[in-house]
Amino acid sequence: MSRIGVYVCHCGENIAGAVDVEEVRKYAETLPGVVVARDYLFMCSDPGQELIKQDIRDGLVDRVVVAACTPRTHEPIFRKAVENGGLNKYFFEMANIRDQDSWPHWHDREGATAKAKKLVASAVAKVALLEPLEDRYVDVTRSSLVIGGGVAGMFAALDLANMGYKVYLVEKNPSIGGNMAKLDKTFPTNDCSACILTPIMVQVGTHPNIELLTYSEVESVEGSIGNFKVKVRKKQTYVDWDRCTGCGDCVEACPARVPNEFNEGMDKRKAIYIEFPQAVPKRAVLDIEHCINCAKRAIGTEPRIHSKTGEPILAPCEKACKTGACDRSKPYNPDGEIMELSVGTIIVATGYKVMDKTPFKEYSPQSPNVITAMQLERILSATGPTEGELRRPSDGEKPRTIVFISCVGSRDKNHHTYCSKVCCMYMLKEARLIKEKYPNINIYIFFIDVRTAGKDFEEYYNYCRGLGIKMIRGRVGAVDELAGDRLRVRAYDVDLGVPVELEADLVVLATAIEPAPGLEELGRKLGITCGSEGFMKELHTKLYPVETPVKGIYIAGCAQGPKDIPESVSQARAASSAAAVPLAMGRVLVEPLISEVDQEKCSGCGICVPLCPYLAISMVEYREKPLSRINEALCAGCGVCAAACPSGAITLHGYTSAQIHAQIEALTAGIGGGANV
Amino acid sequence: MAGKLTLAYFLSGGCGGCDMAIVDLSETLVDVLPRLEVVFWAPTVADVKYKELEAMPDKSIDVGLYSGMVRLGEQEHIAKVMRAKCKVLVAWGACAALGGIPGMGNMHTREEIFKTAYFDTYSTDNPDGITPQTRCVVDGKYELTLPEFYEYVRPLHHVVDVDYFVGGCPPHHSFVAEAISAVLEGKLPPPGSWITGGKAVCDICRRNPALRGEEREPITAVKRTIEGVPAEGKCLLQEGYLCLGPVTQGDCKALCPKVNIPCRGCGGPIPGVKDFGLRAIGAIAASLANEELVDQIPSPVKLFYRYSLPASMLGRKVK
C-alpha cells in the first residue's frame, strides 16, 4: 500500500479566499492510502517544498499530491522537490484547485470547497497507481527551419546560420525581403529601407549555411522538438533557376500585363516577372495564370515549325532568353516539387499584410486618389510606379493637399479592436518625407490618439509638428469624390468641438496590420492556435514571448502581433537564440509520458499506425507476425493510439486506463446512484 | 485427474446454439465422453430435474457450463444452484458472458417489451390485456406459477461469481474442444479470466492489411453488408463494412470475414478491455476519414454493443 502525502496550498488568498483549506486538508486525511495531509501558505516557496522533502526523507510518504495551482507552471518545481527528497519524480500528481476551482467559483465557498475535495480525491486515486518513470533524451537534428523571409525571418536565419547551424528559409514569394522591401524610408531615423535591407538580403542569399527556398510554402509538419519532418512545396516557376541569371530580357519581351503586387496594384508587371529590382534570388518567375501562351506555346508542348524557314516558332520570352532558362517545351509539373526537410527547431516569421481599402465604403475607396499608406510608400519609393515622384494616381498631378486618416480598421470594433501600433509613426514619417521635400504641400493628419511610444519617437513627432504638419484630433466621417479628381474630407474636430471640412487631392488611409494570409492554416499544420485577432499565440506574454505551446517552434515578428522593424528584429534574434538552445544541446529531454505497445497483447490489426500524428508507429516483425511498435524518440505522448487500440495493448505511461478510471471513479463517487464507471 | 470429471450444463436464456456447439464436436466428443460424466444437462440433453440438482451436495460437480443470459427468476435460481454445486463455473458463450443478443432488450424497459409482445403485434389477441404474472389460479383451485420476468437482462457474473468466461455465439466447435480439454487437463488461467487465445480476429484474419504487407488506410465510406461486394482479400473494415474484428477475440479463427461477413463481435472483448462497445467506438471512430461518416452509422448501440450491452458501462435503459 502506498503512503500518500497530500499538501494543500493556500496560494495566499488565491485559493484560501474561496476554499476552506482546513476542511480540504482534513478530508484528504480520510482518503485511502493518505498518511499525512498538510497545508501551507505557499507550497511553491522553499519552506513549502521543504515540507514535502522532509516527509519523504523521514520515510513518511512515498507518493505526493500537491493541491495548488496549475501544473503548467508548477509541476516541474514540485517534481524536482519530490526528486530531491529521494523519490522518483513521477510519483507526483497535482490537483489544480486554483485555476479550476477557487478562481472560477470565487463566490461559492461551499461549492468550491466540495469541488476541491473531489479534485484532491481524484489526484489521490491516481497517485496510488502511478509507476516510476525515467526521463529520456532524444538526439536533435542540428538544423532549423525559418518560415517567412521578411526582416524578422532573415535575421532569425542569419543568427542561426552564423552560429553554425544549417537553416532552411522558406519564403512564399519569389524573393526574400518581405514588406520592408516595399518601404521607402524607415522611422525614426529615416534611413532608406532598401539601403539597409539589401545587404542583409545578400548576406542571407549567399550564406553557406542558409538554404533559400523561395516561391515555396510549408505543406505539412510532423514530428516534435529535435526532429521535425517538414514537407515544403516549391511552387512551379516554369523557369529553370539553375540557368536563369535574372537579366530580365524575358520580362522585357513579355506582352502580358498583370497588376503588380509589389507596387500594391498601382502599375502592371509582366506575366513573366522578377519581383523587384533588388530581388534575392534575382530570378524570373512565370505567372502561369496570366500567361497568354504566345505563339500557342503552352507549357510542355513542342513548338510548331515555321512553314517557310523550317525554324521552330518560339514565344517571345523564350526567344529573349540567352541562357535557355526559359524553355516552354519542358513538361513542368504545375504542382511544383515537394521537398522533405529534417529540422530540429522551427521559427515562424510570416509577417503581416495591410488591410485593403475596399471595406471602408465611407472613404470612397473607388477613387484612385484614396490610397493606403503602403501604396503611398510605393509612390514615394524610387522603385515604385512613379519612380519616387509624388504624383496622385488619377492623373499624375502633384497633390497640393494631402489628408491622412489614422486607425482605419484598427481600434474599430467593426474591424479590429487592436491598435496596429506602427500607423502613427509611419503616417508621421510619410508626412515628414513629403513636407521636407515639398514644404508647400498642405498635410493634415486626422487622429484619435497619437501613439508615439518608443525610443526617439516622441521627438520625431514633435519635429513633424514643427514642420507645419497639421494634426487634428477627430474621426473622419466621410470622404466624398468631387469634380476635378478632388476629394472632400468631412470630420469632427474634437478639440475645437466643431465639424471640419477639407478639400484634398490625395487621401491616405492608415489601414490596419493583419496577420499574413494563411497564418491560421499554417498554425493548424504546426499545432499552434491563433488568437481571435488571428495572430499566433505565444506561450506566455511576458515570460515566454517567442515560444509557442509546441515545443521547438518559436515565433518572431508580426506573426505574433503588429510591431515595428526594431521590435521585429529584436524578437527575431530572441527567437533564434531560443531555437538554437536545443540545437546547441544536441539532445532534448523528453518526458517519459509516452505510449508503449505490449506486443504480447497486440493483435496486429494496425489501426494505430495511420492515427499517429508523429508517424511514430510502424508494424515490425515480432515472432513471425507484423505487430505494432512505437518509436519512443518520435512519440509525443498524445495518447491517440492508446485510446483507439482495440486490444487495449497500448499503454500511455502516466495516463494508464487504470489511473484514469480511478480518477473518474473518485470524481463521480456518489453521483447518479448506480455503479460508478 | 483421477476418475471421471463430472459436468453440469444449463441452457438459460440462450437459444440452444451453445448446446449445439458442444454436440458439433461429433467424433471429438466420442473421445472426450469416456472421461466425462454428465450429471445434469437441462433442458436439452439429459432428463435430470432441478430438484435432483438441488439435492446434490455443494461443490460436488467439477465443472458447470452455464449458457444464456439471466432474464427470468428461474434462470437466476439455477445460476445460484449451479454456483453452489459446481467447483468451477463457466459462463459459456456470448449470452452468459456478456448478455448476448437478448441483451439488446436492455434498450427497452420491461413495460415496453410487454407492450410490444402482448399488445402491439398483429398476431396478438389479448382482449383482457393480460401480461405474464408470477402466479395465477385456474378454475379456482389450481395455482400455477411462472418465473418472474425481470426488468432487464444480466450476464451471469452479475448474478453469481464466475470462474471463467468463454465467448462466441456460439463458441466455435474447434475452440470448444480446446476449452473443454483445457478444463479436463486443468490448464486454466487465473479464475475470473476468459478462456481465449487472447488475440483479436485481425491476428488471424487473412484480410488484415498488415499480414498482406499493406498499410492500413482510413475508412472513407460506411457500408452495410447488403451494399456492394467486398473486394477480394481486402480488409472489410477498410472497405467500409464496420467489422469489429480488431476488438473481438479471434478464437473463431476469423470465420465470418472469411465469408465476406464483417465480424459482429460475438467473441467478446480482448482480455483487459473493460467495455467492448466503448473500445469498438474508440477504434472505429478513430479510423474514419472524416467526422461526417459517424452520422452514417445506423444504430450505433446495437452495432457496437450487439452482444455486450448488459455487461457494459451503459448496462440498460434507465428511463
Model confidence pLDDT, tens digit, residues A587-627: 998 889 999 999 999 999 999 998 887 788 999 988 888 99
Decide which of A538, A560, A587 is a domain's last residue: A587
Q: Does B203 touch chain A (CB under 8 A)?
A: yes
Least confident of A250-264, B21-35, B195-209: B21-35
Q: Does B242 touch chain A (CB under 8 A)?
A: no
Q: Does B289 touch chain A (CB under 8 A)?
A: no
Q: Does A673 touch chain B (CB under 8 A)?
A: no
CB A313 within 8 A of CB A304: yes
Q: Does A676 touch chain B (CB under 8 A)?
A: no
In angstroms, the separation between the Cα of residue B153 and the nearest Cα of chain A is 16
Residue A611 maps to a domain: yes
List the grid coordinates of A550: 509546441
pLDDT of residue A555: 97
Q: Does A603 touch chain B (CB under 8 A)?
A: yes
Q: Does B215 touch chain A (CB under 8 A)?
A: yes
- For residue A547, the SS3 value is strand
Q: Do residues A502 and A384 both lie within one domain?
A: yes
Residue A395 maps to a domain: yes
Q: Do residues A116 and A8 both lie within one domain?
A: yes
Residue A667 maps to a domain: no
In angstroms, the separation between the Cα of residue B217 and the nearest Cα of chain A is 7
Beta-carbon separation of B273 and A606 below 8 A: no
In whole angstroms, how far apart are CA A474 and each of A406, A412, B69? Answer: 10, 14, 81
Portion of chain A with pLDDT greater than 70, in percent: 99
DSSP state of A361: G
Q: Do residues A56 and A194 both lie within one domain?
A: no
CB A278 within 8 A of CB A246: no
Q: What is the CATH number of the domain that holds A613?
A: 3.30.70.20
Q: Do residues A599 and A576 both lie within one domain?
A: no
ipTM for this prediction: 0.84
Q: With a CB-CB cutoff of 8 Å, which residues 160-199 of chain B face chain A?
A: 198-199
Task: Identify all chain B residues contacting A625, using CB atoms and an 8 Å cutoff.
Answer: 203, 211
Decide which of A532, A561, A587 is a domain's last residue: A587
Task: Identify all chain B residues contacting A606, using CB atoms and an 8 Å cutoff.
Answer: 202, 208-210, 215-216
- For residue A510, the SS3 value is strand
- For residue A95, the SS3 value is strand
Residue A297 CA to residue A329 CA, distance in Å, equals 8
Beta-carbon separation of A601 and B198 below 8 A: yes
Comparing CB atoms, the residue among A604, A648, A657 nearest residue B202 is A604
Residue A613 CA to residue A625 CA, distance in Å, equals 24
Comparing CB atoms, the residue among A610, A661, A677 nearest residue B217 is A610
Q: What is the CATH number of the domain that holds A501?
A: 3.50.50.60
Q: Count of A–B CB contacts within 8 Å?
A: 87
- For residue B50, the SS3 value is helix
Residue A411 maps to a domain: yes
Q: Do residues A65 and A113 both lie within one domain?
A: yes
∠ Cα A650 A656 A658 (to 5°): 120
Task: Identify all chain B residues contacting A626, using CB atoms and an 8 Å cutoff.
Answer: 210-211, 213
Residue A661 maps to a domain: no
Domains of chain B listed by start with CATH number: 5-100+155-194 (3.40.50.700), 107-146 (no CATH), 201-304 (no CATH)
Q: Do residues A411 and A503 both lie within one domain?
A: yes
Q: Does A625 touch chain B (CB under 8 A)?
A: yes
Query: pLDDT tens, A517-566?
Result: 999 999 989 988 899 899 999 998 998 999 998 899 999 999 999 999 99
Decide which of A546, A571, A587 is a domain's last residue: A587
Q: Do residues A323 and A364 both lie within one domain?
A: no
Residue B88 CA to residue A19 CA, distance in Å, equals 53
Residue A489 CA to residue B52 CA, distance in Å, equals 107
pLDDT of residue A116: 97
Q: Do residues A200 and A261 both lie within one domain?
A: no
Mean confidence (pLDDT) of chain A: 94
pLDDT at B183 over 90: no
Task: Identify all chain A residues contacting B246, using CB atoms and an 8 Å cutoff.
Answer: 603, 605, 607, 646-647
Q: Does A644 touch chain B (CB under 8 A)?
A: yes
Query: pLDDT tens, B217-245?
Result: 999 999 998 999 999 899 999 999 999 99
Position with higher pLDDT, B33 vs A460: A460
Query: pLDDT tens, A431-444?
Result: 999 999 999 999 99
Residue A659 maps to a domain: no
Residue A672 maps to a domain: no
Residue A317 maps to a domain: yes
Q: Does A657 touch chain B (CB under 8 A)?
A: yes
Q: Give the helix/strand (H/E) hosting A46.
A: helix A46-57
pLDDT at A15 over 70: yes
Average pLDDT of B77-99? 96
What's the one-letter identity of residue A613? P
Domain count, chain A: 5
Q: Do residues A222 and A176 both lie within one domain?
A: yes
pLDDT of residue A423: 96
Which domain, by its residues, includes A126? 4-133
Q: Does B267 touch chain A (CB under 8 A)?
A: no
Residue-by-residue DSSP string for B61-126: EEEEEEES-EEEHHHHHHHHHHHHHEEEEEEESHHHHH-TGGGGGGGS-HHHHHHIIIIISTT---
Comparing CB atoms, the residue among B208, B218, B286 nearest residue A640 is B286
Q: What is the CATH number of the domain that holds A250?
A: 3.30.70
Comparing CB atoms, the residue among B198, B210, B272 nearest residue A606 is B210
Greatest Cα pair distance in chain B: 75
Rg of chain B over all Cα atoms, to the nearest angstrom: 21
Q: With a CB-CB cutoff of 8 Å, which residues 35-94 of chain A face chain B?
A: none
Q: Does A656 touch chain B (CB under 8 A)?
A: no
Q: Do residues A202 and A347 both lie within one domain?
A: yes
Q: Do residues A106 and A189 both lie within one domain?
A: no
In angstroms, the separation between the Cα of residue A152 and the nearest Cα of chain B is 38
In whole angstroms, how far apart are CA A61 and each of A2, A56, A92, A343, A388? Answer: 8, 5, 11, 44, 77
Q: Do residues A562 and A454 both lie within one domain?
A: no
Look-up of cell digits 519524480? A89
Beta-carbon separation of B203 and A648 below 8 A: no
